[in-house]
Amino acid sequence: MSVLEIKNLHVNVETDQGTREILRGVDLTIREGEIHAIMGPNGSGKSTLAYTIAGHPKYTVVQGEILLDGEDVLEMSVDERARAGMFLAMQYPVEIPGVTVTNFLRTAKTAIDGEAPSIRTWLKDVRGAMTNLKMDSAFAERNVNEGFSGGEKKRNEILQLELLKPKFAVLDETDSGLDVDALKVVSEGVNRAHANTGLGILLITHYTRILRYIKPDFVHVFVAGKIAEQGGPELADRLEEEGYDRYHVAESATQ
């Protein structure tokens, strides 16, 4: 049984105004097959957590650990983390001019599996996954994210999630900017990956909307760089009604 552990994680980021501490002691354990929602107001450090797990060079871990089945993730390069079974669905996926989706997917799959996928089953898998995500087949010959709409970019992220079959996925505000139809399609994709591969999910979101389609086992409220409260799905319902205001009150009261 795979497990991803985050222990007392402190993360700084360099800005023009100097060093800023963003994460201030995050503790979180995700086991295979679990869905954790991380909810919090803007600027609380949710995306920093996502990018730190993936290894973005902009973020410096000053204290704490991230362990995947006991292995030190912080010692791994970005690509080693992916090959170890981690996945980040990005909020703003970048364009890669001149690299087609087909070429990109095959290159990534080959890197992650350590060998090229068998052509026949691979093409079938790609076509099937695209159909499920209601993606036009012409999509495969377009350059990665180039000229994609917001919804197409998110579908493309989930397409990769389904095809690359990671152990743990961090979904960074995958719901943002999606209309309800696209949100359903994307959520179905996430649920499929979860059902098919026993994926562990860290679902980062500002809104409770996506939780109607992806049911979390645990909800964590993230405020000022750490987890302020955690509970089951009922916590999300409470946030839906009350918003984040009471955490701000608690936060300012302690200062």
Size of the site for another protein (CB under 8 A): 29
Question: 210 to 249, contacts with another protein by CB under 8 A?
Answer: none
What single-letter DSSP state applies at residue 74? G
Residue 90, interface with another protein (CB under 8 A)? yes
Cβ 98 to another protein, closest distance in Å?
3
What token pair was written down for 37? 């929602």
What CA–CA distance (Å, rounded) separates 243 from 13? 27
Non-local (6+) Cβ contacts of 99 within 8 A are 143, 144
Residue 104, interface with another protein (CB under 8 A)? yes
| Alpha-helical regions (H) of the chain | 46-54, 78-84, 101-113, 119-132, 150-164, 180-197, 233-242, 245-254
With CB under 8 A as the contact rule, the residue among 108, 123, 227, 228 that binds another protein is 108
Binding part of the chain for another protein, among 97-105, 196-204, 217-225, 247-255 by CB under 8 A, reads 97-105
Residue 137, interface with another protein (CB under 8 A)? no
69 within 8 A of 91, measured Cβ to Cβ: no
Residue 186, interface with another protein (CB under 8 A)? no
Residue 189, interface with another protein (CB under 8 A)? no
What are the residues facing 96 on neighbouring strands?
A: 144
With CB under 8 A as the contact rule, the residue among 18, 42, 94, 121 that binds another protein is 94
For the chain, the 3-state helix, strand and coil shares in percent, each to the nearest 5, are 40, 30, 25
With CB under 8 A as the contact rule, the residue among 10, 31, 83, 184 that binds another protein is 83
Phi, psi of 124 (to 5 degrees): -65, -45
Residue 143, interface with another protein (CB under 8 A)? yes
What are the residues facing 31 on neighbouring strands?
A: 3
Residues at the interface with another protein (CB under 8 A): 54-57, 77-79, 81-83, 87-88, 90, 93-99, 103-104, 107-108, 111-112, 143, 160, 164
